[in-house]
Amino acid sequence: MASTDVMPMPVSLPTSAGTREVLDLADPLLNLQKLDDPKVSIHQCSQKYGPQAIRSIFEKLQERRKEPEFEELNFSDNHIGDEGAECLKDGLKNNLTLKRLLMPRTGLKTRGFQCMGELLQHSSTLEMLVLSSNMADPKGVEGSFMIGLQKNKSLKSLCLAACRLGNQGVGQLCAGPLANHFSLEHVSFSYNRLEDEVCSSVVKMLATNTKLKYLELNGNSLGVAAAEELVKGLQSNKTLEKLGLAQNSIMQKGATALSKHFVSDKGQNLIYLDLRYNKVGYYGCVDIRKMINKPMEDDEANKGWMINFGERQLMLNAH
C-alpha cells in the first residue's frame, strides 16, 4: 500500500501475455511476483512480466518527470532476462531510495550479472540483493560485477545461491571484493557445485574479512578435507557468527572437526553451525554428541536436530 501522504501514480504496464495491468509506481514496494490464483504455477507467473514491463516502468516515470522512489523491488519468478537487467541498471543509476532488490529465477545470464555489478557500483542505499537461481557461471561475476561489488559500501546481504559459480567463480569473489568488503554481513553460495578445493579461497577470505557474519555453503560437494580446511579459517576469524554447511558430504570426520571447534574457546564467536544431512550416520552422531558433552540419552531437550548451548545452536542429524 502506498503511504497516505503520497499521491498514487497508477500506470498501465504490458504483460508477456499481451494484456496490460495497472500498478502504482508511487508505492515504495513494487511486487511483480504475483500468483492471482492458487492453481497458477510458477511457470505461468514467469510468463507475466518481462523486460518490456521493466522498460515501461522507467519510461512512465520519465514521462511524469519523477525519480524512482522504490524501497523494494520484487521481480522474483518473472523472465526479466539480461534486457530487463539493462533497463534496471539505467533506470536506477544513482538512486537514493532502493534498499532491497529481489531477482531470483529471473532468467539473468552473464550480461545481466554485469548490469547488476554496474548498478551496485552506483548505488549508495542498496542493502539486499538476491540473484539466486540465475545462470551466472564464473564469467557472470567477473569484470563489472566484481568491480561494482568492490566499490559498493551499502550492501549487507548478497544471495548467489544456485548460480553455477563453481570453484572458479566463488574463488574469484573470495580473492577479490569479499576479502575486505566494506559492509557485507551475509553471503550465500549454496548450491553452486563447490568442491573441496574452493575452501582454500574461503579460508583466505575469512582471514582478512572483518564484516561477514553469515556464510552459506549448503548443498554443495564439500567433503572431509573441506571441513578440516574450514576449521583453520574459523580459528583465524573472530567476526563470523553463522555458518551453513548442510547437505554436503563432510562425513563423521568432518562433522567432528567442526563440532569440536564450535565448543572450543576459539569457536565461541560462532552462534549457529548447520551440519545436517552430511552422511554422518547414527553412530557418528552418538560419538559427536558424547564428544561435545551433549549425549542423546542424557539430554531430553536436545534429542532432535538442534543442540542448544545457551543462545548458541549446533544443527546435526544422522543422515
Class of domain 10-315: alpha beta
Query: Using an 8 Å Cβ cutoff, are 56 and 84 in contact?
Result: no
- Orientation angle between helical segments 81-91 and 51-63, nearest 10 degrees: 20
Sequence length of the chain is 319
Q: Say how many C-beta atoms besides its own lie within 10 A of residue 183's C-beta.
A: 12
Q: pTM for this one?
A: 0.92
Q: State whether residue 302 is helix, strand or coil.
A: helix
Who has greater pLDDT, 15 or 107? 107
Confidence of residue 2 (pLDDT cuts 50, 70, 90): very low
pLDDT score of 257 more than 70? yes
Per domain, the residue ranges of the chain are: 10-315
Lowest mean pLDDT among 28-37, 84-93, 161-170, 179-188: 28-37
User: Mean per-residue pLDDT for 11-23?
Assistant: 80
Query: What whole-number distance in Å separates Cα of residue 240 and Cα of residue 227?
Result: 16
pLDDT tens readout for residues 238-253: 999 999 999 999 999 9
Nearest to 216 by CA among 187, 184, 240, 259: 187
User: Mean per-residue pLDDT for 77-97?
Assistant: 95
Reading the block at residue 142, the C-alpha cell is 567477473
Lowest mean pLDDT among 56-60, 177-181, 202-206, 300-304: 300-304
Nearest to 288 by CA among 273, 266, 271, 310: 273
Who has greater pLDDT, 35 or 295? 295
pLDDT more than 70, % of the chain? 92
Confidence of residue 69 (pLDDT cuts 50, 70, 90): very high
Note the pLDDT of residue 244: 98
> What residues pair up with 308 in beta bridges, in sequence order?
313
Mean pLDDT of the chain: 91
Note the pLDDT of residue 49: 85
User: Mean per-residue pLDDT for 149-165?
Assistant: 98
Lowest mean pLDDT among 6-15, 240-249, 300-309: 300-309
Note the pLDDT of residue 1: 41
CA dihedral angle for residue 171, residue 172, residue 177, residue 178, rounded to 10 degrees: -10
Strands 20-24 and 10-14: antiparallel
Query: What whole-number distance in Å separates Cα of residue 215 and Cα of residue 269?
Result: 14
Note the pLDDT of residue 288: 96
pLDDT score of 312 more than 50? yes
Q: Name residues whose C-beta falls within 8 Å of residue 36's C-beta, 6 or more positions apart in sequence.
A: none
Note the pLDDT of residue 258: 98
pLDDT score of 116 more than 90? yes
pLDDT tens readout for residues 118-142: 999 999 999 999 999 999 999 999 9
Confidence of residue 16 (pLDDT cuts 50, 70, 90): confident
Who has greater pLDDT, 74 or 319? 74
Note the pLDDT of residue 172: 97
